[in-house]
Amino acid sequence: MLAPGTFDGKTVLITGGGSGLGLSMAEGLLRLGAKVCLMSRSEDKLQAASEKLVSQTGGSVFTFSADVRDAAKVEEGIRYFIECAGGLHAVVNNAAGNFISPTERLSANAFSSIIDTVLKGSIHTTLAAGKYWIEKKQPGVFLNIATTYASTGSAFVVPSATAKAGLIALTRSLAVEWGEYGIRSNAIAPGPFPTEGAWSRLFPKEALPPALADKMDFASRIPIGRVGNHEELVNLVTFLLSDFSAYINGELVTIDGGEWLQGAGEFNWLKAVPHQMWDAIEKATRKGA
């Protein structure tokens, strides 16, 4: 969507960038001229991602293996990236953890593993990068990957919903507090964009009886009638990281084909009514009481 060279001279850190949506974002940014820094737990994943990205784009990729739950390691990684890449201009807080479970089955540690990754992990990168930008009197951009159910809440993914809601509060708070330093903070709320990591944990179709598996039919759940594709997400991400969105600060942009609104509207269930039935319904309802 953006012109080649949009990110020339810019370095972007993507947490959890070794796979899934983070990897797609990395590819999109590299194609637009950015240097990309990937931070993720698995050295093997980082190695494979880096080789793939360099061969696909010919761009500069730096990697640092760290669990975002470890604040000291995250700080070390950010220092390393700044030294190798010669600076840092934007951070995408994308690393996440999630699984479906009735909340009463969860241990305190299960909650912690999600909150510490999603919320505290983002806080760790935000503190390290934000302090660096403020000290250097340099502008910066944060883009936090939330979800639609961070605003509504959602049963069966309560640790994730809680953590992502905190991430939105972090985004809006720092948009105001750090705006004066030229640091923008925005978030996006993606709906379903298939990735192996999320799908295996959240939509285990094959483990369910057919009647339940049918509930995962995205074509009927989403007004646009399909899941999202990575390129659509990457277009939004690159726009919000670029100077073309320089006046957007503290915003949460939903990208879900209308899915969450379909679940929210009082009368949305009427979509199930066949078109030819509306004449009869109108006749009945026009009479009133």
Give the binding site for ligand HXC (CB under 6 A): 96-99, 101, 105-107, 109-110, 113-114, 147, 160, 191-192, 197-198, 201-202
β-sheet with 61-65: strand ranges across: 61-65, 35-40, 11-15, 90-93, 140-145, 183-190, 252-255
Closest CB to ligand HXC among residues 33, 192: 192
Element (H, E) at 39: strand 35-40
For ligand HXC, give the closer residue by CB, 100 or 246. Answer: 100
- In angstroms, give the least distance from the CB of 6 to ligand HXC: 27
Nearest distance from residue 17's CB to ligand HXC, in Å?
A: 13
Contact 259, 219 (CB under 8 A): no
Residue nearest to ligand HXC (CB): 97
Q: Helix axis angle, 230-241 relative to 20-31, nearest 10°?
A: 60
Q: Quickly count: other Cβ atoms within 10 Å of residue 105's Cβ.
A: 7
Q: How far is the CB of 45 from ligand HXC (least distance, A)?
A: 11
What are 163's strand-pairing partners? none
* Nearer residue to ligand HXC within complex by CB, 139 or 197: 197
Q: Which residues does residue 253 pair with via DSSP β-bridges, in sequence order? A: 188
How many angstroms separate the first and last alpha carbons of the chain? 54
Two tokens, residue 289 = 């009481």
Residue type for 34, please? A
Nearer to ligand HXC, 147 or 254 (CB): 147
Catalytic residue numbers, as ranges? 149
Q: What are the backbone dihedrals phi and psi of residue 5, each rounded to the nearest 5 degrees, phi first?
A: 90, -5
Q: Write down the least CB distance from residue 113 to ligand HXC, Å.
A: 4
From the CB of 37, what's the least distance to ligand HXC, in Å?
20
- Select 107 or 276, whichever has its Cβ closest to ligand HXC: 107
Region of 63 please: left (phi>0), alpha (psi -120 to 50) or beta: beta
